[in-house]
Structure 1
Amino acid sequence: MNSVSRITRVASVAAAATLLAGVTTTAATAASGPAAHPAAASRGLNSFARVPFSSATVTAGSKSGTLTVSWAASKLRGVTVYAGSTQSAQTHRVATGKSSDTVTVTAAYGSWIRLVPSEGASLVLTVRDLGLASDPNLRDIGGYRTTDGQWVKMGVVYRSQALSLSANDLATVDQLGITADYDLRTTAEIAASPDVVPAGATYTNLNVLGDTSVTSISGVTSAAAAEAYMQEGERDFVTNATATTAFGALLTGIADGKGAALYHCSAGKDRTGWATAVILTLLGVPESTVMQDYLLSNQYYFDSAAVQAMLSAMPAAEAAVYTPFMEVESSYLQAGFDQVKSSYGTMYNYAVKGLGLSPQTIQRLRAKLLVSGSADRH
């Protein structure tokens, strides 16, 4: 089967996801697989103080109006926690803690948290997901630690399912400073559910699948066959020229753009999931962490009330076959990683030879998305 015919496999799943996206809108941790080029992995290091944290997260607290902040580091005298409403300013001291600790703080000052260690550079984090009812899979791709001890910035790049946002959720998204909305869907998907474009954002369609004829999934009659179908679609993201052109344009746009960027497909898990895996791998995030991020679509999308209600309405046998199309499994992403290794050897080579990125573009991507250490005292 050639690349064009294989890519239609994913197109048929995308069509199903479009229908499901319509239903949906009406209802940070740090073994590496396809790694970044060694030279690229060392770029961005500088003579400034390094961020000393080996892990750190900010999540919504168990009580309304609170945040849970956790971190781990070794041999620090202590950590001071500051909060604020923007990525650039966290001025309210809300807690202190030990070298490794978990604290609950008020969210009254905002959800942006700055961890200031007794030694080393500070780290700014926020809650990964926005908790949007009309777009549960909209989340920040940052907040992950790389293999060389750097961190992926938060508030710079977001991933999402179809942007069929309610008025309330749009008001939230409008506050993110998004200047670029990259839509990875087909013409038919867009016609069925046009984007609600965030204020101040420029819309760009980067059609990963192309407008090829859609092959029906009606011939898939078992869960195992459905899983194989999804794995083949992931491999097509690596080998199909239409897909590589779109992904190359996406990464170039993010690297060269001003302000925050958002990209999405229909469910925010397959095309969007692969794009995220490529970006995080090029930044030096471990494959195990990349996989964990990929699998979060099960929590935010597959486990959503709308998706589960749709599956529950199906006969059990039909739901069992359809489920692999609506979820993500590690074998899907691994199929893409394995294809990168087979076709290009490394993710860096895939980015350069497959996606057409220059080494300079990859460096700009890293410079934009990786935290640069600097001394920080309050």
Structure 2
Amino acid sequence: MKLNILDMQLSHQLRVLPIVGGYNFRDLGGIKTNDGKEVIQNLLIRTDELSNLENQDLDYLAEINVKSIVDFRTKQEREISVDKVPTTCENEFHLDIMAGNMNDFFLKIKQGNSDYKNILSHFYSDLVTSPNAIESYQHFFEILQNKENCSVVYHCTAGKDRTGIATALILECLNVDRNVIEEDYLLSNHFLQKKYEGYISLNPELEDLFLVKSEYINYAYDMIINKYYSVTDYLTDVLKVDIDVMKKNYTH
């Protein structure tokens, strides 16, 4: 049985980091796996952009020893909104994923495309099948499989689409139940509502664009299964992930 949104918020509350200058900062630590284990805390942290972090936020990230930042945004996005990183950060990895970036969203809107659900469906297809995204996620898992890079903060602009797919794939590696993965994915709506409420209040139809829906991530799963037979085949054969290493590094 799936949890309702209130139960989801309560059950995941301990994973929300005390960050003032970010909207979607969440630790994957504490999520239970089907193996009877759980994800180790402070090693895998998902979020939105880092440009608004305050000094106290950077101090906190230094306290939990964040060593690596993985940024899925394009060069143009990074130039508009520059990351702030903690003093402990040793590596910044720029894995430009074209699909799902805000510039493309707004370009399509300017071109007159108002079918936002269709836009997102195409972006989610690209996020799991385009050569650009596959190459970026391959590199991402190479980074994660080297435990010396941890703790890792990974993000895009909103921390919901490119970061949402990255999170789902991580949790699939760690044998987390699919319902739990979807629940974590949908939690972005709770944290991003405030970030985008101005846009949504002026144009309610933009909710499809700025928030996430189950159908988006399920569309990505369908694309993976239709093209690559199974999520496990996709992880091991396409993204070249060593699932045993992922479990060893990130669960106990």
Q: 1:155-304 to 2 correspondence within 5 Å?
A: 155-164=42-51, 165-201=53-89, 202-209=91-98, 214=104, 215-218=107-110, 219-221=112-114, 225-258=115-148, 259-301=150-192, 303-304=193-194
- Aligned partner (choices 229, 242, 246) of residue 345 of structure 1: 229
User: d(CA) in 2 for partners of 1:329 and 1:57?
Assistant: 20
Structure (1/2) with the larger helix percentage: 2
Cα separation, partners in 2 of 1:233 and 1:288, compared to 1, 3 Å: same
Separation (CA, whole Å) in 2 of partners of 1:217 and 1:367: 44
Q: Deviations over 1:154-199 (max 9, x none)?
A: 2111001011112222222221211110011000000001110122
Cα drift, residue 362 of structure 1: 2.2
Q: Based on CA coordinates, which of the two structures has the bigger radius of gyration?
A: 1
Shift of 1:236: 0.9
Percent identity of equivalent pairs = 27
The Cα shift of 1:57 comes to 5.1
Deviations 1:20-51 (A, max 9, x none): xxxxxxxxx99xxxxxxxxxxxxxxxxxxxxx
Between the aligned partners of 2:60 and 2:217, the Cα distance in structure 1 is 31
Any idea what SS the aligned residue of 1:178 has?
A: coil
Q: Aligned equivalents of 2:12 and 2:227: distance in 1?
A: 38
Q: Give the length in aligned residue pairs.
A: 237
- Determine if contact 1:255/1:362 at 8 Å carries over to the other structure: no
Secondary structure at the aligned position of 2:108 is classed as coil
Give the gaps of 5 or more residues in structure 2. 4-9
User: 1:232 Cα shift?
Assistant: 1.6
Q: Which amino acid aligns with 1:217?
A: I
Q: Using the alignment, how far apart are the partners of 1:199 and 1:285 within structure 2? A: 32
Q: Show the counterpart of 1:321.
A: 205
Q: Does structure 2 conserve the Cα–Cα contact (< 8 Å) formed by 1:244 and 1:355?
A: yes
- Map 1:354-365 onto structure 2 (within 5 A): 354-357=238-241, 361-365=242-246
> How far apart, CA to CA, are the structure 2 residues paired with 1:247 and 1:187?
17
Whether contact under 8 Å (1:238, 1:354) holds in the other structure is: no
Letter in 2 for 1:200: T
Residues 256, 192 of structure 1: CA spacing in aligned structure 2 closer, same or farther, 3 A cutoff?
Answer: same
- 1:251 deviates by 1.3
* Alignment partners' CA distance in 2, 1:300 and 1:147: 27
State the shift of 1:254 in Å: 0.9
Contact preservation (8 Å) 1:256, 1:364: no
Higher strand share: 1
Would you say the 8 A contact 2:71–2:156 is kept in 1?
A: yes
Letter in 2 for 1:135: G
Residues in 2 aligned to 1:133 and 1:324: alpha-carbon distance in whole angstroms: 26
